[in-house]
Chain A
């Protein structure tokens, strides 16, 4: 199968930040590359409900599984109940019967919502720019401390002397506690003064408006308006759920918070009929950030490193951002590239290679995001960031699902991202993102039942990744690599860390040698959040290789490890082919000897053991004493660390 790669996205944390943003940046690279590869967004969450919340959904009973209507009230005569027949997920749905137009249901107030904040510009505040489409707002009162979570929300200005500075603008970057950038390509610089006398006085009113996304799964035979109290005591229509033949369908809306009051959602019928609500998820988007998203399918690549879009004009503000490309024609064009320059809407990309050159191509899928330590901080700031997550569905025919949620309970010492997956489109809880036990997933069963404790310093009974994120106060560099195949069968992620604590995982259909779901594997760290190199092959649960999850013939989750090749008599009892001190290439030809990874499944020996070589995913082991991040065999392979080797694109790496 044709592979696509992310070739070495640099993730750097400067010296004076203890945030060490590498962790979340790597997750963001993964997210955006999969999205541009055609993966479907199923679920997102923020951490606004607090670090201990296993249910991050802001909607009370958002998954509608409570066996009562305690969190829901009739609106204007609508009949509200829980239904156990017409169900989309779990065992219940929220049933709303309207005898006529105007009837419906209203929720309890949302949990833990961020409030709108209003203020008047003070002396010393400034607007500068625009540079490209971005202006910078400087606030002299450090109003934006811990404010990177606000990216994708809005600043609304009024009262500026230049009307082009008035309006609602999406916040695009966080700079520091004083400053953010927002998108307004036609504004003008202002130095605000706010004292009397003397005139002139240049003062503006500003409101920060948190944005929340609303995902609703509903089946109805009549249209319902969706209305939200935005915290200012009045409802606003944020969209309509059309009559859909009572087929559960996902609808996506959003709203802004305009005040500090409670927010509720209500569904108001446009006529007589019945609607079943399968779930409602309200979250502040940390990964997709729809208000800020720039993407398209009209990318034009020009050899060797130029890119442009017919529908979007890149500008100077895009320098430093990361452009994610997916080229279905020339797979080696795909990747994630830092933009190093812009001229007339055409960007120049950093290919991170001495040999790489992109091939001319059209209709390339692309999306743009800012991947830096300010946008995706690893730690500090707020729970909203520390506990955010996403769920994606692969374009593979199996529709396998990949969920990730950050979990950083103890700051620098407790960082990790919990990862869970399902080999098919297994039903999941719309609130927590957990898979339901009715279908196969890594959470279904193992030696101990899988459960997620986002606030636990020592993760127990769960898969996670951790590598690459040790605390440092000096500049800290990481480099993110990915390998996926064209049809989305599997993903491989490796985040190199300058301290040697590399993050590493592989998930998906990595072999076709076994029947049914037995070919699906998730190789990620199991339990424990101590700093460790996950690209390693000993028996520590810290390694991606030691305790993965796969499935038996009854679709139950069982453990596996990535087995090793032992050699020799008693003297070499604990030595391996690849770990011999003198391990080298073949003496006759000088070629490296690689072998596909070997899966030893059912390592606990309870059900169905097997040992197979996985030959379908470009993953190999070679000698462990090779220099890390080196390519060989005409750059057809990349040694990551400790003998873990990927099929590679034929390009050198830095």
Chain B
């Protein structure tokens, strides 16, 4: 797995959402997604003349003898980079992440934020390509877009779109690399005055979860992924799942979109356990206090099934299970580790995400 933890993203004036999209894109690159295209504007780091890409050295190295230190032999670093963001596109997943630069040692050495550093330290590696980015230029509202290819063999594409000042829409094209450009309904994240973000990611293959807190909202969530246990003839069960105001919303109310068997958008729903037919969702099993230590006095972690919308012939049936995440008791305290092994972290309202071991840094709130 590839992890990003507690990435503190500074603001770009009033266009906080611009920062969000830029760093979702940077994290997806870290997660081995590859950009297929973008609108060409300079605010995307890496585009020609982009002021947001400070430097991109290809000779970075890390050494477990020097935790949090990133070294270069080409003297790319400057004191002004403190507060910027550096991503390492390392071969080793333990080294592959993105952090805020917290210390300048010299032109060849910097240190990254301890609150986001891997609990397992570096694995010795050199020749790493890195990207130091900043936010001196905002995306153009209504224009900026980036299309990214999920890691092979997935056919999925994700599209990031800066629809308006501080409003962004995230899309999935489940068969985008086939290519089939049909795009599912997007999920809108309107962060009106969110100037700062604390961002997190866990990614494995094409399954990528990115979540963040802002000054206004303590939990926003997006996931691109591919369902588990789908029908063998259902070759592209790819989805986008998310919610912009997630802290008080149960997983079953998240937005989820896929392509149906006729390659049209279809709304999908995360299932939950309830007592009887016609019972309300809010009376779900995970809403009861006694479910907190269910199943032999341990937290029940459920990999939820996903049901397609009630459309004859193309939907209205279970399609598969959501990878990576789990459902559990909705009343657990926020951002609470669930197990001694450090495998799981309760975020909000019963949504449980993988945790990178017992010494993984806990998420910081607020920003």
Q: What is A's interface to B at a CB cutoff of 8 Å? A: 514-515, 536-539, 545-546, 561, 563-570, 572-577, 579-589, 591, 593, 595, 598, 600, 602-603, 605-612, 623
Minimum distance in angstroms from B321 CB to a CB of chain A: 11
Say yes or no: B273 contacts A598, CB within 8 Å. yes
Assembly CA distance A546 to B275 (angstroms): 8
Q: Using a CB-CB cutoff of 8 Å, which residues 263-288 of chain B contact chain A? A: 269-282, 284-285, 288
B269 near A579: Cβ-Cβ < 8 Å = no
Distance in angstroms from B274 CB to nearest chain A CB is 4
Q: Is the CB of A611 within 8 A of B295?
A: yes
CB–CB B280/A609 < 8 A: no
Q: Is the CB of A569 within 8 A of B291?
A: no
Contact A568 B317 (CB under 8 A): no
Q: B279 touches which one: A515, A564, A584, A586 (CB < 8 A)?
A: A564
Give the docked Cα–Cα distance between A595 and B300 (Å). 18
A–B Cβ pairs within 8 angstroms, 27 of them: A538-B276, A538-B278, A539-B275, A539-B278, A546-B276, A563-B285, A565-B271, A565-B272, A566-B281, A569-B253, A570-B253, A572-B310, A576-B277, A577-B271, A577-B317, A580-B316, A582-B311, A583-B317, A584-B313, A587-B261, A587-B317, A600-B275, A605-B288, A607-B290, A610-B294, A610-B295, A611-B295
Verify B294–A574 contact, CB threshold 8 A: no
Interface status of B307 (Cβ within 8 A of chain A): yes
Once A564-B279, A588-B261, A600-B285 are accepted as A-B contacts, the answer to whether A609 and B272 lie under 8 Å apart by CB is no
Report the Cα distance A587→B231, complex, angstroms. 9
Contact yes or no, B312 A577, CB < 8 A: no
Knowing A584-B312, A600-B273, A603-B275, say if A589 contacts B231 (CB, 8 Å): yes
Instruction: Give the distance in Å from the alpha carbon of A586 to the alpha carbon of B295 in the complex.
Output: 31
Complex interface: chain B residues within 8 A of A580 (CB): 307, 310, 316
Q: B271 and A589: CB pair below 8 A? A: no
Known A575-B310, A609-B294; judge A563-B274 contact (CB<8 A). Answer: yes
CB-CB under 8 A from A589, the residues of chain B are 231-234
Q: For the complex, give the distance between the alpha carbons of A310 and B47 in Å.
A: 90
Residues of B whose CB lies within 8 Å of any CB of A are 231-234, 252-253, 260-261, 269-282, 284-285, 288-291, 294-297, 300, 302, 305, 307, 310-319
**Residue of A at shortest CB range from B229?**
A593
In the complex, which residues of chain B have a beta carbon less than 8 angstroms from the beta carbon of A584? Answer: 312-313, 316-317
Which residue of B273, B285, B297, B317 is within 8 Å of A623 (Cβ)? B317
CA of A20 to CA of B314, assembled, Å: 45
Task: Determine if B231 and A591 form an interchain contact, defined as CB atoms under 8 angstroms apart.
Answer: yes
Partner of B317, one of A514, A575, A593: A593
Minimum C-beta distance from B174 to chain A (A): 13
The 3 residue pairs across chains A and B that have the minimum distance between CB atoms? A587-B261, A609-B290, A539-B276
Q: Is the CB–CB distance between B285 and A605 below 8 Å?
A: no
Interchain CB contact under 8 A, A588 and B302:
no
Given A538-B277, A546-B276, A588-B234: A567 in contact with B317 (beta carbons within 8 A): no
- In the complex, which residues of chain A have a beta carbon less than 8 angstroms from the beta carbon of B273? 563-566, 598, 600, 611
B296 near A577 with CB under 8 A, answer no
Asked whether A574 lies within 8 Å of B296 as measured between CB atoms, the reply is: no
A611 in contact with B305 (CB, 8 Å): no
Known contacts being A611-B300, A612-B295, is A564 close to B314, with CB within 8 Å?
no
B307 contacts A539, CB within 8 Å?
A: no
CB pair A586 B274 closer than 8 Å: no
Most buried by A among B261, B278, B291, B312: B278
Structural contact, B313 and A567, CB atoms closer than 8 A: no
In the bound assembly, the distance between CA atoms of A305 and B297 in angstroms comes to 52
Compute how far the CA of A353 lies from the CA of B181 in the bound complex, rounded to whole angstroms.
Answer: 50
Report the Cα distance A179→B285, complex, angstroms: 59
* A577/B318 in contact, CB under 8 A: yes
Chain B residues whose CB sits within 8 angstroms of the CB of A577 once the complex forms: 271, 305, 307, 317-318
**Is A587 in contact with B260, judged by CB distance below 8 angstroms?**
yes
Residues of the A chain whose Cβ atoms lie less than 8 Å from the Cβ of B276: 537-539, 545-546, 561, 564
Output the least CB separation between A337 and chain B (Å): 36
In contact, B315 and A582 (Cβ under 8 angstroms) = yes
Given A582-B315, A587-B313, A600-B273, also A608-B297 (CB < 8 A): yes
Flag if A610 contacts B261 (CB, 8 Å).
no
Cβ 8 A contact of A581, one of B269, B310, B319: B310
Given A539-B279, A574-B280, A609-B291: A586 touches B231 (CB 8 Å cut-off): yes
Evaluate whether A566 and B231 lie within 8 angstroms (CB atoms) in the complex, with A605-B290, A609-B294, A623-B317 already known: no
**Once the chains are docked, how many angstroms separate the CA of A566 from the CA of B260?**
20
For B231, the chain A residues whose CB sits under 8 A away are 586, 588-589, 591
Report yes or no: A567 in contact with B252, Cβ–Cβ below 8 A: yes
| CB-based nearest B residue for A518 | B296
Does B274 contact A566, Cβ atoms closer than 8 Å?
Answer: yes
Instruction: Please give the distance in Å from A640's CB to the nearest CB on chain B.
Output: 16
CA distance A237 to B274 in the complex (A): 62
Query: Which residue in chain B gives the minimum CB-CB distance to A536?
Result: B277
Chain A residues, CB < 8 A from B305: 565, 577, 595
From B281, B291, B300, give the contact of A568 (CB < 8 A).
Answer: B281
Contacts of B272 in A (CB 8 A): 565-567
Minimum distance in angstroms from B308 CB to a CB of chain A: 8
Complex Cα spacing A573 to B250, Å: 13
B254 CB to nearest A CB, Å: 9
B262: shortest Cβ distance to chain A, in Å? 8
